[in-house]
Amino acid sequence: MDYYRDLITQKSWQTLIKLQQDYSLVLIGGWAIWLYSHQLKSKDIDFVVDLPTLSQLKERFTVTKNNRLHKYEIVQNDIQVDIYVPFWSEIGLPCEEIIAASQIREGFRVPLPEILLILKQVSQAARAGSVKGYKDLLDVISLLRLPDFNWDRYRRLTHNANPQLPQKLADLLRQTVQVPELSLNAHQFSRIKKTWLLNLASFR
């Protein structure tokens, strides 16, 4: 399925492949979710690296430091690449924990789905009301639809990271009526989100 234009997502994907081949990175954001769900492709590239890998990237690319958002940035082939590092970036969970809990998915190192959900919740809250914020919402729903999404793991992770996240997720789901971008009309979405809300209610 498409959310952004094919030309943009194709250019982003090709850029990502080249980076993944040359550097040790943990992919997060929309592309990581796409590797699990194969629902909506991404425009931007987001990943976590350790500090030695960041130094390697600086040798090849013009890497700018964004102090306000605690990240590094590269613009490559008109594609925005956001880089997050341990002990500085603030994305919902410590980057060192994200790296440690990553796994291989279709040749890419990615976090567990439950970790990706936490990261997406944080970014969605920060960008609510924007085009990117709505894409974040779609990514959240794509993760929840995964057959092997582990609610117990999500419970444990949020308990340690931010106990308010399950309630915020429930509120977000209640505010959402339909998701045509994921082929979910109002009736279909109402049925599926009831199960999710029951799972979240059990957290209390």
* Structural tokens at position 202: 């059990």
Q: How confident is the model at residue 140 (pLDDT cuts 50, 70, 90)?
A: very high
Helix intervals (H) in the chain = 6-22, 29-37, 51-60, 95-100, 113-126, 131-144, 151-161, 165-175, 186-201
Distance CA 111, CA 48 (A): 10
pLDDT higher than threshold 90 for residue 5: no
Distance CA 133, CA 131 (A): 5
Q: How confident is the model at residue 203 (pLDDT cuts 50, 70, 90)?
A: confident
pLDDT higher than threshold 90 for residue 136: yes
Q: How confident is the model at residue 78 (pLDDT cuts 50, 70, 90)?
A: confident
Q: What are phi and psi of 157, to 5 degrees?
A: -65, -45
At 143-166, the pLDDT tens digits run: 999 999 999 999 999 999 999 999
Widest Cα–Cα separation across the chain: 52
Task: Please give the average per-residue pLDDT across 100-106, as a whole number.
Answer: 95
Best CA proximity match to 32, nearest among 186, 147, 146: 146
Distance CA 116, CA 15 (A): 21
Do 172 and 196 meet the contact criterion of CB atoms below 8 Å apart? no
Distance CA 154, CA 202 (A): 12
Residue 136, classed as helix, strand or coil, is: helix
Angular region, 129: left φ>0, alpha ψ -120 to 50, beta rest: left
pLDDT of residue 1: 46
Indicate the burial class of 133 (C-beta count within 10 angstroms; 0-12, 13-18, 19 or more).
middle
One of 3.40.50.1390, 1.10.1240.10, 3.30.460.40, 3.20.20.150 is the CATH number of 6-201, namely 3.30.460.40
